[in-house]
């Protein structure tokens, strides 16, 4: 949810919020744009690598799919808002689930979390 709100804030900075009200589908396209802008402005050794942009794109897609409204067909039950039942009848709860496609422990996810926090703080002013 933080990624979605940061992306919407970024998109509305100059053009208002009417065009971003009714969708969750802003993360895939916008998070890489925020990353490029942020690291371009930093002008220091924190420059983002092509590998990290590629990972941010991958992670952004996974984050976007966590919104129940953006479910990938009927193939994905995991989401960030509601409990779900898997094929074996086991119930998973979002706050207790590890989301293995996102929590891979690499450097890109750590930088992405920092980026989302920074973007949320800077675009909310």
* Per-residue pLDDT reduced to its tens digit, 34-55: 888 887 776 555 567 788 888 8
- Number of folded domains that form the chain: 1
Tell me the per-residue pLDDT of 56-115, one tens digit each, with 9 for 90 and over. 899 998 888 888 776 666 667 788 888 988 889 999 999 998 888 887 677 778 888 888
SS3 of residue 88 by DSSP: coil
- Count CB neighbours of 58 within 10 A: 15
CA 2, CA 4: separation in Å to the nearest integer?
A: 5
Task: Give 85's strand partners.
Answer: 91
CA 55 to chain centre: 11
Collapse the DSSP code of 84 into the 3-class scheme (helix H, G, I; strand E, B; otherwise coil) and give the result. strand
CA 68 to chain centre: 14
Domain that holds residue 102: 2-123
- Model pTM? 0.75
Q: What is the pLDDT of residue 107?
A: 74
Q: What are phi and psi of 92, to 5 degrees?
A: -110, 140
């Amino acid at each position: 949810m933080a990624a979605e709100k940061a992306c919407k804030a970024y998109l509305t900075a100059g053009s208002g919020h009417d065009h971003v009200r009714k969708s969750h589908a802003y993360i895939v396209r916008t998070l890489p744009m925020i990353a490029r802008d942020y690291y371009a402005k930093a002008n220091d050794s924190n420059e983002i690598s092509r590998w990290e942009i590629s990972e941010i794109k991958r992670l952004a897609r996974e984050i976007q799919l966590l919104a129940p409204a953006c479910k990938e067909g009927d193939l994905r039950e995991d989401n960030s808002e509601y409990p779900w039942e898997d094929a074996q009848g086991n119930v998973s709860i979002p706050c207790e689930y590890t989301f293995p496609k996102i929590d891979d422990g690499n450097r890109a996810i750590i930088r992405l979390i920092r980026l989302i926090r920074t973007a949320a703080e800077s675009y909310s002013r």
